[in-house]
Amino acid sequence: DVDQFQIFSFIYDLTYRLLKRDCDMLSGDLKYFELLKRTYPSIKAHSHEIGNRAYANMFAADKEIKKLFNNTPPAQAQRLIDTVMLYCEESDNFELLYGKLDNIAHIHINHCVKNEYYPVMREAFTKALCETLEISESSELAYAWSYGFGRLSDELIHIEDLIRKHSTESITEEA
């Protein structure tokens, strides 16, 4: 049946991405994820300030994104930074992450978050990290955390695209 095929297709695609991700981590990515795990405790200590600065930077950079957040609770910045922290700390535990990312992806879809917002947020996050820690944006630490944020963004974009595709296919089949 079509629903079983869609589920199989979703699982196959996700499995492929996980294997590719694991292979990438075994190559050059591992260096950055190791740096993220090593520096996680010191970054976590500044997470609140980084989150608040990241949102301020993002709103200054893109007015359309700022409108999207008009009715969000003040804790949203902390939610973002907590997700980044969890992803970077648990980057090798996708089972733990998938449930969280799937939930976030559904929220993003419901709030009309666009894929093109992710690079803006990544840049805002990196700038906030560098401002807070008083480090250069060209430092290895800044690059590693920006890279981790980018990988998190890629995962969310992919999950959101799969959800949208599945929703569109389900609606088309019902019609």
> Which phi-psi region, left, alpha or beta, contains residue 84 (left: φ > 0; alpha: ψ -120 to 50)?
alpha
pTM (predicted TM-score)? 0.78
> What are 43-92's pLDDT values in tens digits?
989 999 999 999 999 999 988 888 888 777 778 888 888 888 888 887 77
State both tokens at 171: 């609606």
Cα–Cα distance measured from residue 127 to residue 20, given in angstroms and rounded to the nearest whole number: 29
> What are 82-124's pLDDT values in tens digits?
888 888 887 777 677 888 888 999 999 998 899 999 999 999 9
Q: Please report the beta strands in the chain, taking only residues with DSSP state E, as ranges in sequence order.
A: none
Cα–Cα distance measured from residue 63 to residue 80, given in angstroms and rounded to the nearest whole number: 19
* CB 121 within 8 Å of CB 12: no
Name the DSSP class of 29.
Answer: I
Cα–Cα distance measured from residue 74 to residue 42, given in angstroms and rounded to the nearest whole number: 23
* CB 83 within 8 Å of CB 152: yes
State both tokens at 70: 């008009």
